């Protein structure tokens, strides 16, 4: 009898102490009120000083596009005549005045442009020299900072240009049990 009562008490303590918490996202959000205040569907990032941009030029004639894509050059030991040229991802840092220096084209004011606007600008500049140019511009240092009651707060590098709040919370390890 004592064993049954003792077992029942232990079982009751174990069952009552093992509760799980459930996080409800956007619990008190008034959708009608928020719908007129934010339109993020058409948002495009604008280039700003200190942004790091990868710019790649291609064309139907790859050799003609080569001067616009700076290669990584390495030399072997002194005395040997070996030269290695390896295609490399060229990164351009926007200076404090909003400019980048692009090969052959020269100095370009990139600040305030979107990726697509800068691509089109460069394409228009090199079109007389290059048949059907295609310019790809990508952000290399895009990041977000997640603070608050998440598992791992801090800076998160982002590989795409768009990240939702839920994506950021998920990348930070989700909310803790104290997060609201």
Q: What ranges do the domains of the chain cover?
A: 52-139, 142-180
The pLDDT score that the predictor gives to residue 73 is: 54
Cα-based torsion angle of the residue sequence 114, 131, 55, 82 in order, rounded to the nearest 10 degrees? -170
The pLDDT score that the predictor gives to residue 159 is: 79
The answer to whether the predicted template modeling score (pTM) of the entire model surpasses 0.85 is: no
- CA 159 to CA 176: how far, in whole Å? 25
pLDDT at 48 over 80: yes
What 3 state SS string does 33-50 have? HHHCCCCCCCCCCCCCCC
The pLDDT score that the predictor gives to residue 75 is: 54
- Residue range 40-44: mean pLDDT, rounded: 66
- CA 24 to CA 180: how far, in whole Å? 8
- CA 34 to CA 115: how far, in whole Å? 29
Mean pLDDT for all residues in the chain: 80
pLDDT tens per residue across span 166-178: 888 888 898 888 8
The pLDDT score that the predictor gives to residue 134 is: 94
H-type alpha helices, 50-180:
62-65, 115-126, 165-171
The pLDDT score that the predictor gives to residue 84 is: 52
Which residue, among 111, 114, 67, has the nearest Cα to 93 in the 3D structure? 111
The pLDDT score that the predictor gives to residue 166 is: 86
The pLDDT score that the predictor gives to residue 106 is: 92
52-139: CATH number: 3.30.1950.10
Higher pLDDT, 121 or 161: 121
- CA 145 to CA 48: how far, in whole Å? 18
pLDDT tens per residue across span 117-153: 999 999 999 999 898 999 999 998 888 888 888 898 8
Which residue, among 158, 124, 118, has the nearest Cα to 136 in the 3D structure? 118
Which residue, among 170, 177, 65, has the nearest Cα to 126 in the 3D structure? 65
Q: Which parts of the chain are beta strand (E)?
A: 52-58, 72-75, 83-86, 91-93, 99-102, 106-109, 134-139, 143-146, 154-157
- Residue range 14-30: mean pLDDT, rounded: 61
For 115, residues 6+ apart whose C-beta sits below 8 A from its C-beta are 44, 45, 47, 137, 138, 139, 161
pLDDT tens per residue across span 80-115: 655 555 555 788 999 999 999 999 999 999 999 999
């Amino acid at each position: 009898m004592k064993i049954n009562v003792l077992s029942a008490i232990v079982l009751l303590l174990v069952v009552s102490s093992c509760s799980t918490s459930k996080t409800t996202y956007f619990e008190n959000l008034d959708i009608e009120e928020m719908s007129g205040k934010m339109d993020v569907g058409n948002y495009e990032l604008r280039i700003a000083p200190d942004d790091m941009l990868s710019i790649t030029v291609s064309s139907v004639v790859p050799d003609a596009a080569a001067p616009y894509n700076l290669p990584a050059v390495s030399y072997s030991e002194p005395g040997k005549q070996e030269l290695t040229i390896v295609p490399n991802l060229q990164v351009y840092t926007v200076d404090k005045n909003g400019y980048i220096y692009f090969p052959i084209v020269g100095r370009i004011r990139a600040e305030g442009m979107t990726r697509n606007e800068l691509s089109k600008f460069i394409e228009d500049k090199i079109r007389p020299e290059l048949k059907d140019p295609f310019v790809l511009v990508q952000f290399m240092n895009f990041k977000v900072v997640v603070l608050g009651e998440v598992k791992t707060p801090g800076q998160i590098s982002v590989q795409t240009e768009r990240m939702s709040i839920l994506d950021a919370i998920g990348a930070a390890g989700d909310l803790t049990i104290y997060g609201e």
